[in-house]
Structure 1
Amino acid sequence: MAETLISIIISCYNQEFYLDECLHSVSVQTYENWECIIIDDGSTDNSQSIAEKWVEKDSRFIYIKIANGGPSLARNTGIEKSTGEWILFLDGDDIIATEKLNHSIKNSENKNIVISNFEMLHNGKVLEPFSDITRYPISTENIVKRWDIDFNIPIHCILFRKELIGNIRYKENLKAKEDWIFWIDIFSKNKIEVRLIDEKLVQYRQHSNGISKNFKSVYMDNQNANEYIYNNYDETIRKALFERINLQNFNLNNENLEQKKYIKQLQNTKVLKYYFKLKKLF
């Protein structure tokens, strides 16, 4: 029996330092029936020549360059070009274990989503994942209510049946949280059967400049995503969104309370009291 075709969609923008390693991890998969569609989102570095090298080496790689429009446009382009029964999204700096596709397909019977665990890669060091994907049941409610609070599943961990995606696309007008909205669409518009593989089969790369967003930018990204959800989904999802905002406020208030307690404890230390006495003298 012929193996099921998997479409791997890689969005790439100026990732010349990581793209070769990413594509190599695809090329050495023990599961061999795949196509890898590299969508170059207008890179100005050496990404194109790296991708074209792999296209020449292996016909399963397909390279498409588009005008810069952001990762959502790149992924949507990849969806349109894909021909596989299953879809895996990667970024051009991700790495997948050699058994990622094989383990996923072996665990896909009667399932339409297969999720594997992941680990972080930062400055050449392997770190524990920023989120425990086994902590809560994977459901629409938890995806809406707990996302980026104490629950998150990077899109790179997930193998989707293409039929689930249908007409669903990434929201190209959103600058952030597009993965979150995509997840909500997938779960709210389909009957989902999930298999979770608790093996770290993906390395998710974290960049120092990727975690330095200013507070205002993060706030606006959250607000835009919240407004989109409120305006486009039913009451069940709106209720979960309201609970998420309450949970965020609760956590923020608790953090502020803990900070106040710490400052009070610090003020009561002998060293700090002595410092304040000296300060008055001078």
Structure 2
Amino acid sequence: MNTLVSIIVPCYNQAHFLEESLTSVLAQTYPHWECIIVNDGSPDNIEVIAKTWTQKDTRFKYIAQSNGGLSHARNTGIKVAVGSLILPLDADDILHEMFLEKLVPELEQNDSLAIVTCYSKFFEEHIKNVVHKLKPRGTTYHALLFENCIVATSLYRKSSWQEVGGYDESMKQGFEDWEFWISLLENGKTYKVVEEFLFFYRKSKKSMLTETLEKHRIANLEYVIHKHKDLYIKHFDNTKAYLFFLVNLYRSNELKAKSTIEFKIAKILSKPLRLLGKFTSNKS
């Protein structure tokens, strides 16, 4: 099997991780790939690093553009990709050496599959420091309606990307991969999970995912539901149940936070009274 895979690596402020990521690409036991490094207007020295890799191996290619966001960077790379299969890879993440060897045949042998993914390990600083393990389940869009369980680094066909119009470039606050998966699957296609840990996701305190979950989760959810409203109307009861679950969850968290703040304020305000009581007691 010699199907060409185009690995798309968008880069912004991640030059210090890029070497490790590209090393994992070069180590692939499946040799039929090209790797397109997209500099998304990054202010660091990504260009210097990227060009050393294009000189090291001609399968590495480099594109520079002004900053347009992650979706735009991915779309830019995919537009010039020669491969019939696409694999997005963030510049700070790492592939197991057998990632392509294990996933490519799954997609090639089953036309009903739109996506092939795998188990993932989330790590901090180095891949042996695993802090979380992700084991996606399901096979259809139903498993993705309200929570995304598929990592962005999953394999799909370039023709599928063309059919849905690529990644939504208006989604600049994250979850663009989640919306993309729903687009690929909503017309009846399925996905498959290879039950092996073949991908390593770098977890950092100030990652885009962390910020998205903290600040943009509800806005992104609203956007996705509106964009695919026919799908969510079709599953109205589940949609309603999930939205009310979120309302109750946020209300509960808000009450807990308020209670904690009020307790702290009361404790601070009562401190002078406690000190005064102690002082008068000592005096007497």
Contact (CA 8 Å) 1:145, 1:243: kept in 2 or not? no
Deviations 1:204-260 (A, max 9, x none): 112222276499x714x532x234334332433243544432232243355568889
Partner of residue 193 from structure 2, selected from 185, 192, 196: 196
Equivalence for 2:142: 141
> Within 2, Cα distance between the matches of 1:14 and 1:63?
16
> Within 1, Cα distance between the matches of 2:199 and 2:30?
15
SS at match of 1:74: helix
Contact (CA 8 Å) 1:146, 1:244: kept in 2 or not? no
- 1:174 is displaced (CA, Å) by 1.8
- Segments of 5+ residues of structure 1 without an aligned counterpart are 267-274
- 1:65 is displaced (CA, Å) by 0.4
Contact (CA 8 Å) 1:11, 1:75: kept in 2 or not? yes
The residue identity in structure 2 corresponding to 1:94 is: D
Equivalence for 2:169: 172
Contact (CA 8 Å) 2:42, 2:67: kept in 1 or not? yes
Equivalence for 2:179: 181
Number of equivalenced pairs: 263
Alignment of 1:125-274 (within 5 A): 126-129=129-132, 132-134=134-136, 136-147=137-148, 152-156=149-153, 158-168=154-164, 169-176=166-173, 177-189=175-187, 191-210=188-207, 213=211, 218-219=215-216, 222-223=218-219, 225-238=220-233, 239=236, 241-253=239-251
Equivalence for 2:281: none
- Segments of 5+ residues of structure 2 without an aligned counterpart are 264-270, 279-284
TM-score, normalization: structure 1? 0.80
Deviations 1:47-90 (A, max 9, x none): 11111111011111110001111111100111211121211101
> Within 1, Cα distance between the matches of 2:256 and 2:97?
44
Instruction: Name segments (4+ residues, structure 1) moved above 6 Å.
Output: 256-263
> Within 2, Cα distance between the matches of 1:179 and 1:241?
20
Moved more, 17-26 or 246-255: 246-255
Return the index of the structure with the highest Cα Rg: 2
TM-score, normalization: structure 2? 0.80
The residue identity in structure 2 corresponding to 1:175 is: K
Residue identity over aligned pairs, in percent, reads 31
